[in-house]
Protein backbone atom coordinates (compact mmCIF):
# COMPACT_ATOMS: atom_id res chain seq x y z
CA UNK A 1 0.00 0.00 0.00
CA UNK A 2 1.38 3.42 -0.95
CA UNK A 3 2.10 6.12 1.62
CA UNK A 4 -0.75 8.16 0.09
CA UNK A 5 -3.19 5.26 0.50
CA UNK A 6 -2.03 4.66 4.06
CA UNK A 7 -2.56 8.35 4.87
CA UNK A 8 -6.02 8.28 3.33
CA UNK A 9 -6.93 5.17 5.32
CA UNK A 10 -5.60 6.70 8.54
CA UNK A 11 -7.64 9.87 7.90
CA UNK A 12 -10.76 7.80 7.24
CA UNK A 13 -10.31 5.88 10.51
CA UNK A 14 -9.79 9.12 12.48
CA UNK A 15 -12.86 10.72 10.86
CA UNK A 16 -15.01 7.66 11.56
CA UNK A 17 -13.85 7.59 15.18
CA UNK A 18 -14.83 11.22 15.56
CA UNK A 19 -18.26 10.56 14.09
CA UNK A 20 -18.81 7.58 16.40
CA UNK A 21 -17.80 9.72 19.39
CA UNK A 22 -20.39 12.37 18.55
CA UNK A 23 -23.08 9.77 17.93
CA UNK A 24 -22.50 7.85 21.15
CA UNK A 25 -22.30 11.02 23.22
CA UNK A 26 -25.52 12.66 22.00
CA UNK A 27 -28.10 10.81 19.92
CA UNK A 28 -29.76 13.07 17.34
CA UNK A 29 -33.23 12.58 18.81
CA UNK A 30 -32.39 13.10 22.48
CA UNK A 31 -32.80 16.34 24.41
CA UNK A 32 -31.65 17.19 27.93
CA UNK A 33 -33.71 19.88 29.62
CA UNK A 34 -32.66 21.40 32.94
CA UNK A 35 -35.31 22.40 35.46
CA UNK A 36 -35.39 23.38 39.12
CA UNK A 37 -36.33 20.36 41.28
CA UNK A 38 -39.86 19.03 40.95
CA UNK A 39 -42.49 20.68 43.15
CA UNK A 40 -46.25 21.03 43.04
CA UNK A 41 -46.05 22.68 39.64
CA UNK A 42 -44.48 19.60 38.01
CA UNK A 43 -47.91 18.28 37.02
CA UNK A 44 -47.88 20.96 34.33
CA UNK A 45 -44.17 21.40 33.69
CA UNK A 46 -43.29 17.68 33.35
CA UNK A 47 -46.08 16.86 30.89
CA UNK A 48 -43.90 17.10 27.76
CA UNK A 49 -41.65 14.31 29.01
CA UNK A 50 -43.82 12.21 31.32
CA UNK A 51 -47.01 12.69 29.33
CA UNK A 52 -45.45 11.26 26.18
CA UNK A 53 -45.76 14.41 24.06
CA UNK A 54 -42.05 14.55 23.21
CA UNK A 55 -41.98 10.85 22.39
CA UNK A 56 -44.85 11.29 19.94
CA UNK A 57 -42.73 13.84 18.09
CA UNK A 58 -39.77 11.47 17.96
CA UNK A 59 -37.80 13.16 20.72
CA UNK A 60 -36.25 11.45 23.74
CA UNK A 61 -36.73 14.18 26.36
CA UNK A 62 -34.85 13.89 29.65
CA UNK A 63 -35.73 16.24 32.50
CA UNK A 64 -32.60 16.98 34.54
CA UNK A 65 -33.39 18.44 37.97
CA UNK A 66 -31.27 21.04 39.80
CA UNK A 67 -31.58 22.63 43.22
CA UNK A 68 -31.39 26.10 41.66
CA UNK A 69 -31.51 27.95 38.35
CA UNK A 70 -27.91 29.28 38.45
CA UNK A 71 -26.51 25.73 38.63
CA UNK A 72 -28.67 24.68 35.68
CA UNK A 73 -27.48 27.70 33.70
CA UNK A 74 -23.84 26.76 34.31
CA UNK A 75 -24.59 23.25 33.02
CA UNK A 76 -26.16 24.76 29.88
CA UNK A 77 -23.14 26.97 29.24
CA UNK A 78 -20.86 23.97 29.78
CA UNK A 79 -22.73 22.03 27.11
CA UNK A 80 -24.16 19.48 29.54
CA UNK A 81 -27.76 20.50 28.75
CA UNK A 82 -29.66 21.44 25.60
CA UNK A 83 -31.98 23.90 27.35
CA UNK A 84 -32.98 25.20 30.77
CA UNK A 85 -36.21 26.41 32.30
CA UNK A 86 -35.66 29.05 34.97
CA UNK A 87 -35.99 32.69 35.89
CA UNK A 88 -34.46 34.88 33.16
CA UNK A 89 -32.89 37.07 35.85
CA UNK A 90 -30.21 34.42 36.36
CA UNK A 91 -29.12 34.71 32.71
CA UNK A 92 -29.39 38.42 31.92
CA UNK A 93 -25.82 39.18 32.99
CA UNK A 94 -24.40 36.35 30.86
CA UNK A 95 -26.58 37.38 27.91
CA UNK A 96 -25.39 40.95 28.19
CA UNK A 97 -21.79 39.68 28.05
CA UNK A 98 -22.50 37.78 24.82
CA UNK A 99 -22.51 34.30 26.34
CA UNK A 100 -24.59 33.03 23.43
CA UNK A 101 -27.77 32.30 25.41
CA UNK A 102 -31.22 33.06 24.05
CA UNK A 103 -34.76 33.04 25.42
CA UNK A 104 -36.79 30.84 23.05
CA UNK A 105 -40.07 30.69 24.95
CA UNK A 106 -41.74 31.58 28.25
CA UNK A 107 -43.90 28.84 29.73
CA UNK A 108 -44.68 30.27 33.18
CA UNK A 109 -44.25 34.06 32.96
CA UNK A 110 -46.89 34.77 35.60
CA UNK A 111 -45.37 35.64 38.98
CA UNK A 112 -46.93 32.96 41.20
CA UNK A 113 -44.74 34.04 44.09
CA UNK A 114 -45.64 35.38 47.51
CA UNK A 115 -44.03 37.35 50.31
CA UNK A 116 -44.92 35.37 53.43
CA UNK A 117 -44.73 36.94 56.88
CA UNK A 118 -45.21 35.86 60.45
CA UNK A 119 -48.90 36.07 61.54
CA UNK A 120 -48.29 39.13 63.73
CA UNK A 121 -47.43 41.29 60.69
CA UNK A 122 -50.66 43.11 59.88
CA UNK A 123 -49.48 45.09 56.87
CA UNK A 124 -46.31 45.51 54.74
CA UNK A 125 -45.28 48.67 56.57
CA UNK A 126 -44.96 46.60 59.77
CA UNK A 127 -41.86 45.03 58.18
CA UNK A 128 -39.85 48.24 58.42
CA UNK A 129 -36.67 47.60 60.39
CA UNK A 130 -37.07 43.82 60.16
CA UNK A 131 -35.22 41.04 58.29
CA UNK A 132 -36.57 39.58 55.04
CA UNK A 133 -35.48 36.09 53.97
CA UNK A 134 -34.24 35.76 50.37
CA UNK A 135 -31.55 33.69 48.66
CA UNK A 136 -28.46 35.12 46.95
CA UNK A 137 -28.27 38.86 46.13
CA UNK A 138 -29.73 39.55 42.69
CA UNK A 139 -31.69 36.27 42.69
CA UNK A 140 -35.38 35.94 41.87
CA UNK A 141 -36.45 35.86 45.56
CA UNK A 142 -34.30 38.91 46.39
CA UNK A 143 -35.56 40.97 43.46
CA UNK A 144 -39.16 39.95 43.99
CA UNK A 145 -39.03 40.83 47.70
CA UNK A 146 -37.71 44.31 46.93
CA UNK A 147 -40.21 44.99 44.15
CA UNK A 148 -43.17 43.59 46.08
CA UNK A 149 -42.34 45.75 49.11
CA UNK A 150 -41.87 48.83 46.92
CA UNK A 151 -45.30 48.22 45.41
CA UNK A 152 -46.67 48.53 48.94
CA UNK A 153 -44.68 51.62 49.83
CA UNK A 154 -41.75 50.00 51.67
CA UNK A 155 -38.28 50.67 50.25
CA UNK A 156 -35.40 48.23 50.36
CA UNK A 157 -33.48 50.57 52.63
CA UNK A 158 -36.19 50.28 55.28
CA UNK A 159 -35.63 46.53 55.77
CA UNK A 160 -32.66 44.16 55.82
CA UNK A 161 -32.24 41.13 53.58
CA UNK A 162 -30.84 37.81 54.79
CA UNK A 163 -29.84 34.75 52.79
CA UNK A 164 -32.21 32.08 54.13
CA UNK A 165 -31.54 29.36 51.55
CA UNK A 166 -34.02 27.44 49.40
CA UNK A 167 -37.78 28.03 49.10
CA UNK A 168 -38.68 25.62 51.91
CA UNK A 169 -35.85 26.87 54.11
CA UNK A 170 -36.97 30.47 53.66
CA UNK A 171 -40.49 29.58 54.74
CA UNK A 172 -39.10 27.66 57.68
CA UNK A 173 -37.07 30.72 58.67
CA UNK A 174 -40.34 32.67 58.96
CA UNK A 175 -41.99 29.86 60.95
CA UNK A 176 -39.16 29.78 63.46
CA UNK A 177 -38.87 33.55 63.81
CA UNK A 178 -35.43 33.83 62.21
CA UNK A 179 -36.84 36.40 59.75
CA UNK A 180 -40.05 38.40 59.78
CA UNK A 181 -40.94 37.59 56.17
CA UNK A 182 -39.62 35.70 53.14
CA UNK A 183 -40.21 35.45 49.42
CA UNK A 184 -41.11 32.01 48.12
CA UNK A 185 -43.33 30.00 45.79
CA UNK A 186 -47.04 30.62 46.37
CA UNK A 187 -47.86 26.97 47.01
CA UNK A 188 -46.76 27.24 50.65
CA UNK A 189 -49.92 29.24 51.30
CA UNK A 190 -51.92 26.02 51.37
CA UNK A 191 -50.21 25.08 54.66
CA UNK A 192 -49.98 28.62 56.02
CA UNK A 193 -51.78 27.89 59.28
CA UNK A 194 -49.72 24.79 60.00
CA UNK A 195 -46.48 26.54 59.07
CA UNK A 196 -47.45 29.60 61.10
CA UNK A 197 -46.96 31.96 58.17
CA UNK A 198 -49.17 34.51 56.46
CA UNK A 199 -49.43 35.32 52.72
CA UNK A 200 -48.76 39.06 52.87
CA UNK A 201 -48.08 40.17 49.27
CA UNK A 202 -48.99 38.14 46.17
CA UNK A 203 -46.70 38.57 43.19
CA UNK A 204 -49.37 38.21 40.51
CA UNK A 205 -51.02 41.30 41.98
CA UNK A 206 -48.06 43.38 43.21
CA UNK A 207 -45.54 42.62 40.44
CA UNK A 208 -47.59 41.57 37.38
CA UNK A 209 -44.82 42.52 34.93
CA UNK A 210 -42.11 40.48 36.63
CA UNK A 211 -41.41 37.46 34.38
CA UNK A 212 -41.01 34.30 36.45
CA UNK A 213 -39.87 31.48 34.15
CA UNK A 214 -38.66 31.18 30.56
CA UNK A 215 -36.99 28.51 28.44
CA UNK A 216 -33.43 29.29 27.36
CA UNK A 217 -30.92 27.58 25.11
CA UNK A 218 -27.64 28.37 23.38
CA UNK A 219 -27.07 29.89 19.97
CA UNK A 220 -25.11 26.74 19.18
CA UNK A 221 -28.14 24.52 19.81
CA UNK A 222 -30.37 26.84 17.81
CA UNK A 223 -28.01 26.46 14.89
CA UNK A 224 -26.81 22.85 15.10
CA UNK A 225 -29.94 21.22 16.59
CA UNK A 226 -32.64 23.45 15.18
CA UNK A 227 -35.00 20.63 14.22
CA UNK A 228 -34.79 19.00 17.65
CA UNK A 229 -35.29 22.38 19.33
CA UNK A 230 -38.49 22.92 17.36
CA UNK A 231 -39.72 19.43 18.33
CA UNK A 232 -38.89 20.14 21.98
CA UNK A 233 -40.80 23.42 22.00
CA UNK A 234 -43.77 21.81 20.24
CA UNK A 235 -43.79 19.03 22.84
CA UNK A 236 -43.69 21.63 25.61
CA UNK A 237 -46.65 23.43 24.03
CA UNK A 238 -48.74 20.28 23.78
CA UNK A 239 -47.77 19.21 27.29
CA UNK A 240 -48.62 22.55 28.87
CA UNK A 241 -51.90 22.70 26.97
CA UNK A 242 -52.88 19.21 28.15
CA UNK A 243 -51.80 19.90 31.73
CA UNK A 244 -54.01 22.98 31.94
CA UNK A 245 -56.99 21.15 30.45
CA UNK A 246 -56.78 17.93 32.47
CA UNK A 247 -56.51 18.78 36.17
CA UNK A 248 -56.84 15.17 37.35
CA UNK A 249 -53.96 14.01 35.18
CA UNK A 250 -51.84 17.04 36.11
CA UNK A 251 -52.28 16.45 39.84
CA UNK A 252 -51.49 12.76 39.48
CA UNK A 253 -48.28 13.58 37.62
CA UNK A 254 -47.31 16.24 40.19
CA UNK A 255 -47.60 13.74 43.03
CA UNK A 256 -45.53 11.22 41.07
CA UNK A 257 -42.81 13.58 39.80
CA UNK A 258 -42.36 15.45 43.07
CA UNK A 259 -42.99 12.37 45.25
CA UNK A 260 -45.71 14.18 47.17
CA UNK A 261 -47.73 12.38 49.85
CA UNK A 262 -51.39 11.67 49.13
CA UNK A 263 -52.45 14.27 51.70
CA UNK A 264 -50.38 17.03 50.08
CA UNK A 265 -52.47 19.89 48.65
CA UNK A 266 -49.72 22.08 47.19
CA UNK A 267 -50.09 20.69 43.67
CA UNK A 268 -53.78 21.56 43.56
CA UNK A 269 -53.15 25.00 45.00
CA UNK A 270 -50.49 25.96 42.46
CA UNK A 271 -52.58 24.45 39.66
CA UNK A 272 -55.62 26.54 40.59
CA UNK A 273 -53.51 29.67 40.98
CA UNK A 274 -51.90 29.17 37.57
CA UNK A 275 -55.34 28.80 35.99
CA UNK A 276 -56.87 31.72 37.88
CA UNK A 277 -54.16 34.19 36.92
CA UNK A 278 -53.35 32.66 33.52
CA UNK A 279 -49.76 32.38 34.69
CA UNK A 280 -48.89 29.58 32.24
CA UNK A 281 -48.77 30.19 28.48
CA UNK A 282 -49.01 27.01 26.37
CA UNK A 283 -47.93 28.84 23.21
CA UNK A 284 -44.72 29.91 25.02
CA UNK A 285 -45.28 33.54 23.95
CA UNK A 286 -42.29 35.69 24.87
CA UNK A 287 -43.35 38.94 26.66
CA UNK A 288 -40.41 41.05 25.48
CA UNK A 289 -41.75 44.26 27.04
CA UNK A 290 -42.08 42.59 30.43
CA UNK A 291 -38.63 41.04 30.09
CA UNK A 292 -37.28 44.52 29.42
CA UNK A 293 -39.12 45.83 32.49
CA UNK A 294 -37.65 43.01 34.59
CA UNK A 295 -34.15 43.79 33.32
CA UNK A 296 -34.59 47.52 33.96
CA UNK A 297 -35.68 46.84 37.55
CA UNK A 298 -32.57 44.72 38.09
CA UNK A 299 -30.48 47.60 36.75
CA UNK A 300 -32.25 50.13 38.98
CA UNK A 301 -31.77 47.95 42.06
CA UNK A 302 -28.10 47.36 41.33
CA UNK A 303 -28.45 43.65 40.57
CA UNK A 304 -26.93 44.08 37.11
CA UNK A 305 -24.67 46.59 35.36
CA UNK A 306 -25.25 48.36 32.07
CA UNK A 307 -28.30 49.05 29.94
CA UNK A 308 -29.37 46.49 27.36
CA UNK A 309 -31.98 45.91 24.69
CA UNK A 310 -33.55 42.66 25.87
CA UNK A 311 -34.97 41.99 22.40
CA UNK A 312 -31.42 40.98 21.45
CA UNK A 313 -31.58 38.22 24.06
CA UNK A 314 -34.57 36.62 22.32
CA UNK A 315 -34.90 34.29 19.32
CA UNK A 316 -38.58 33.73 18.51
CA UNK A 317 -37.98 31.85 15.25
CA UNK A 318 -37.96 28.28 16.65
CA UNK A 319 -41.11 28.97 18.69
CA UNK A 320 -42.97 30.17 15.61
CA UNK A 321 -42.06 26.94 13.82
CA UNK A 322 -43.07 24.91 16.88
CA UNK A 323 -46.50 26.57 16.88
CA UNK A 324 -47.14 25.22 13.40
CA UNK A 325 -46.04 21.75 14.54
CA UNK A 326 -48.00 21.75 17.82
CA UNK A 327 -51.24 22.99 16.23
CA UNK A 328 -52.74 24.27 19.47
CA UNK A 329 -56.36 25.38 19.33
CA UNK A 330 -56.58 29.10 20.00
CA UNK A 331 -52.85 29.71 19.52
CA UNK A 332 -51.54 32.77 17.70
**Is the same domain home to 145 and 186?**
yes
**Is the same domain home to 66 and 173?**
no
CATH at 155: 3.40.190.10
Dihedral angle, C-alpha 168, 35, 309, 321, nearest 10 °: -140
Could you say which of 189, 206, 223 is where a domain stops? 206
Specify if 19 maps to a domain. no
Q: Are strands 160-163 and 131-134 parallel, antiparallel or unpaired?
A: parallel
Domains held by the chain: number = 2
Listed in sequence order, the residues at least 6 apart from 266 whose beta carbon sits closer than 8 Å to its beta carbon are: 39, 40, 187, 188, 190, 191, 260
pLDDT computed for residue 29 by the predictor: 86
**Is the same domain home to 236 and 280?**
yes
pLDDT computed for residue 90 by the predictor: 94
Residue 220 phi/psi, 5-degree rounding, is -65, -45
Q: Distance between CA 241 and CA 130 in Å, rounded?
A: 42
Q: Distance between CA 222 and CA 41 in Å, rounded?
A: 27
Question: pLDDT (tens digit, 9 = 90+) per residue, 272-326?
Answer: 999 999 999 999 999 999 999 999 999 999 999 999 999 999 999 999 999 999 9
**Is the same domain home to 215 and 199?**
no
Average pLDDT score over residue span 218-239: 97
Could you say which of 206, 233, 259 is where a domain stops? 206
Residue 9: pLDDT band by 50, 70, 90 thresholds? very low
Question: pLDDT (tens digit, 9 = 90+) per residue, 170-224?
Answer: 999 999 999 999 999 999 999 999 999 999 999 999 999 999 999 999 999 999 9
**Is the same domain home to 46 and 59?**
yes
Specify if 301 maps to a domain. yes
Burial of 247 (0-12, 13-18, 19+ CB in 10 A): middle
**Is the same domain home to 187 and 222?**
no
Identify which has the larger pLDDT, 18 or 77.
77
**Is the same domain home to 215 and 236?**
yes
Could you say which of 167, 191, 206 is where a domain stops? 206
Q: Is the pLDDT of residue 11 over 50?
A: no
Specify if 70 maps to a domain. yes
Domain extent, residue 96, equals 30-110+210-326
Distances (CA, A) of 270 to 42, 112, 218, 247: 10, 8, 30, 11
Specify if 17 maps to a domain. no
Q: Distance between CA 82 and CA 1 in Å, rounded?
A: 45
Task: Write out the H or E segment, with its range, that includes residue 19.
Answer: helix 3-25
**Is the same domain home to 106 and 224?**
yes
**Is the same domain home to 73 and 202?**
no
**Is the same domain home to 117 and 106?**
no
**Is the same domain home to 80 and 154?**
no
Specify if 175 maps to a domain. yes
**Is the same domain home to 311 and 228?**
yes
SS (H, E, C) 43-57: HHHCHHHHCCHHHHC
Specify if 7 maps to a domain. no
- In the chain, what percentage of residues exceed pLDDT 70? 91
pLDDT computed for residue 20 by the predictor: 32
Specify if 224 maps to a domain. yes
Specify if 9 maps to a domain. no
Which residue, 206, 207, 193, 196, is CA-closest to 265? 193
Amino acid sequence: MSDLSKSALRLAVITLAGMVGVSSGQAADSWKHGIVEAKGDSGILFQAADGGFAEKLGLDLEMVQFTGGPTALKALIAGELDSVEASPVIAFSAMRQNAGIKVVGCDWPGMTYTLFSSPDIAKPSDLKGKAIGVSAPGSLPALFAQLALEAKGVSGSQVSFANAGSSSNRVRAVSTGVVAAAASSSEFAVDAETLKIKPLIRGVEATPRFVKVCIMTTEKSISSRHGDLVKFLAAEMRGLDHGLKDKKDALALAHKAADLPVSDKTAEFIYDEAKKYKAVTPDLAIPVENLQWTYDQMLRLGAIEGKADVAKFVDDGPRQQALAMAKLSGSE
